[in-house]
Structure 1
């Protein structure tokens, strides 16, 4: 993985939802894997419980995910409305790969038992660390020239995904992140007044 030359805030500003993606990548598979490994190793979690699990799907494995998702949705979406759904699925399948994000429920349950005073918070903290992992990987992939977007077809595809890749039953799917070389730019992004979103007291 080459050293990212962009500053943190430049990378954050340029992190956008890119839906036009192709089956190309400006970086190697090894570099993509290293981004994920560094993220999973160094992203913080409550009590350092390290609940997030990540699966990287490339090539035919990536295609298979979106074929599965298409099959599941086809059984649920009315036929007359399915064409737009199929178009979305084709767009994701056109990408180079997909990152799947999970939370290990067995670890969460274990910490809930170890620290009963905080047990109601561990599921919330779990989602927070998963979101941090998503942001770091998204920003890093974008900084390396990839287009990325984030999807949530869980829990509809959960069982099929676990069965297809023989994943532990206690891994709970939280998000799917298709990526590839951008073929279109992001749309305009509007921002609410920052003064309404931040308060400073001195």
Structure 2
């Protein structure tokens, strides 16, 4: 049995200590990320996932903007830790913003030809997000890069869409940082298999 994908999955970890020591050209990374998302499966081939890739000062500005927004949301002591975290994110090579185009989701939900699945379209759009994020994450790991994923939406959703002039129908779902691996990940713990899996034959 071929275990190449499984081996990649076992290696995938959240890496917070990221750097800019990346030799892969930005244009190549962008095309690679685009291709992964393009070929990631979605229910009814609806393709609701949208992606914005940020490099250089645009990447830095994302985390500056996030810090400014969070400063108004937390007390002064807590913001010291928040500001340090934003600085850590800025040290990475780039960031990927994952969005769901809610116009696409609504169009499928309102389609009378598939009315039986009307209320599942929103759940399936989240599955599409999970598929795309996992695929991109694993693909970047395969190329020797480290990754962490953040969820500052919805706090930053409106300002981010305004900054990058994105359609109003795009709903921000996650922010992914990637870069050179400058530190190790924590060991991952698992619950007992007996609590998670069953087989009948």
TM beyond 0.5: yes
Give 5+ residue unaligned stretches, structure 2: none
Between the aligned partners of 1:26 and 1:136, the Cα distance in structure 2 is: 21
Residue aligning to 1:178:
177
Residue aligning to 1:134:
133
Residue aligning to 2:160:
161
Between the aligned partners of 2:19 and 2:145, the Cα distance in structure 1 is: 10
Contact 1:51/1:126 (<8 A) preserved: yes
Match status 1:71 vs 2:68: yes
Query: After superposition, where does 1:8-19 map in structure 2 within 5 Å?
Result: 8-19=5-16
CA offsets 1:108-167 (integer angstroms, 9 cap, x no match): 111111133211110000000111000000001011111100100000001111111110
Residue aligning to 1:145:
144
Between the aligned partners of 2:21 and 2:161, the Cα distance in structure 1 is: 27
Contact 1:51/1:103 (<8 A) preserved: yes
Query: After superposition, where does 1:1-202 map in structure 2 within 5 Å?
Result: 7-114=4-111, 115-202=114-201
What's the TM-score, normalizing by structure 2? 0.95
Aligned residues: 197
Offset at residue 93 of structure 1 (A): 0.9
Between the aligned partners of 1:60 and 1:197, the Cα distance in structure 2 is: 44
Instruction: State the Cα RMSD in Å.
Output: 1.2
Report SS of the residue matched to 1:120: helix
